[in-house]
């Protein structure tokens, strides 16, 4: 197929099957233990660990301005294996600032648990594994836990006007925590 060069432009990025997202406009961010004060139940255990240890990182593309309606954002999050006390490494978790907006997540590598909590604090959990697809409805807080012993990477696609409300989870927490039990991960109501 011949294409006129005038209509050809570079793709927004390269999404690898390994979960790595590359491209000129990819924005990378990470969260270290020192950034996660109050996130894990055992705060004294967190303070005894290396504060510079990376818990998770994100690589995202934002093709339109943050907050603009009608656009989509795309990102990959990698959570390292590990625990604070007996609680697995996880994301901070958030409601969307524009609270009734939804989001897709999908598993790329590793295994984990997606916690979804409604405004009534009822929690649902779905297992994330390579190829699994997860729809997070509006008005639902979401957090991902790496419950395995390898790196967990998942993809995400969300509306450009969704925004993030981390404060509500920081204040109120999730109603369920995922901990290491004798026979595997266990969901513990708090």
Minimum distance, C-beta of residue 29 to Ni ion, in the bound complex (Å):
14
161 belongs to the binding site for Ni ion (CB under 5 A): no
Minimum distance, C-beta of residue 5 to Ni ion, in the bound complex (Å):
38
| Choice between 49 and 166, CB closer to Ni ion | 166
Please say whether the beta carbons of 117 and 174 come within 8 A. yes
| Choice between 115 and 179, CB closer to Ni ion | 115
Residue in this structure with the two tokens 């004798």, named with its chain if needed: 182
Query: 61, 74, 60, 80: which is closest to 153 by C-alpha?
Result: 80
| Choice between 136 and 178, CB closer to Ni ion | 136
User: In the chain, at which residue ranges do the beta strands (DSSP E only) sit?
Assistant: 14-15, 21-22, 27-32, 54-61, 72-79, 83-84, 87-88, 103-109, 112-118, 123-128, 133-136, 140-145, 152-159, 176-181, 184-189
Minimum distance, C-beta of residue 7 to Ni ion, in the bound complex (Å):
34
* From 21-29, 76-84, 101-109, 120-128, span contacting Ni ion (CB under 5 A): 101-109
CA distance 169 to 136: 16
* From 23-31, 71-79, 102-110, 170-178, span contacting Ni ion (CB under 5 A): 102-110
Select from 103, 111, 126, 161 the one that contacts Ni ion (CB under 5 A).
103
Chain residues that interact with Ni ion, rule: CB under 5 A? 103
């Amino acid at each position: 197929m011949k294409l006129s060069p005038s209509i050809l432009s570079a793709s927004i990025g390269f999404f690898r099957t390994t979960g790595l997202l590359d491209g000129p406009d990819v924005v990378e961010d990470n969260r270290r233990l020192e950034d996660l004060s109050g996130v894990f139940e055992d705060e004294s255990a967190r303070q005894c660990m290396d504060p510079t240890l990376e818990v998770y990182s994100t690589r995202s593309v934002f093709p339109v301005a943050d907050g603009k309606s009608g656009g989509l954002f795309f990102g990959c999050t990698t959570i390292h294996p590990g625990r604070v006390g007996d609680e697995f490494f996880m994301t901070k978790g958030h409601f969307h600032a524009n609270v009734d907006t939804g989001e897709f997540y999908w598993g790329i590598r590793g295994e984990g648990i997606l916690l979804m909590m409604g405004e009534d604090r009822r929690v649902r959990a779905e297992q994330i594994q390579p190829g699994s697809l997860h729809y997070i409805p509006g008005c639902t807080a979401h957090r991902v836990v790496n419950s395995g012993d390898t790196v967990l990477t998942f993809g995400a696609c969300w509306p450009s006007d969704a925004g993030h409300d981390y404060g509500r989870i920081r204040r109120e927490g999730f109603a369920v925590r995922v901990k290491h039990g004798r026979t595997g991960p266990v969901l513990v109501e708090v």
